Amino acid sequence: MAILPILEAPHPILSKIAKPVREDQFGPELVSFIDNMVDTMYDAPGVGLAAPQVGRSEQILVADPGNDEGKAQRKLYKIVNPVILEHSKETISYEESCLSVPAFYLMTKRYKRIHLQWKDGLGNTHTEWFEEFPAIVLQHEMDHLKGITLLDRSSRFKKSRYLSRKRKRRK
């Protein structure tokens, strides 16, 4: 498999709303791309990765919430065209980071529990409830499919300070 380059904010693809994967796109080629995303996520290392982060503006994400430090059990999800069917009223706050916004951390509020429906790379439909950390990871990756990064969730001040430091490091 291949390790794909991860785009960093403020790359324009990260601001676009990703297109749903069409029915005629499901199959071996999509499965191969998703496997490359998995390899890229583990190599980074991360617990989730969305297709826009690797330059493909489509509703595809991979996640392994058990890959987080201190989590003993791994469970890999390969998700296409995800939809939250239902969510809890209760929220949970968590300090998130992102592979596309390196060295940036933001306390973010998410639904504590979500009921997600998605397809796999072959077009089979799945549904499952997720709560706490797995729910946070999936909501974070789904933000990428809506063109939202952690910078977009932060204050204008934090965002401009981060981008300014990034520009200075490039010089």
Catalytic residue among 8, 29, 90, 141: 141
Structural tokens at position 105: 């951390």
Determine if residue 147 is left, alpha or beta; phi over 0 gives left, psi from -120 to 50 gives alpha, anything else beta. left
Structural tokens at position 82: 């995800």
Are residues 140 and 96 in contact, defined by beta-carbon separation less than 8 angstroms? yes
| 10/145 Cα distance (integer angstroms) | 15
Instruction: For residue 1, give Cα distances in angstroms to 89, 107, 127.
Output: 40, 34, 27
Q: Determine whether 128 is an active site residue.
A: no
Q: Enumerate the active-site residues.
A: 141
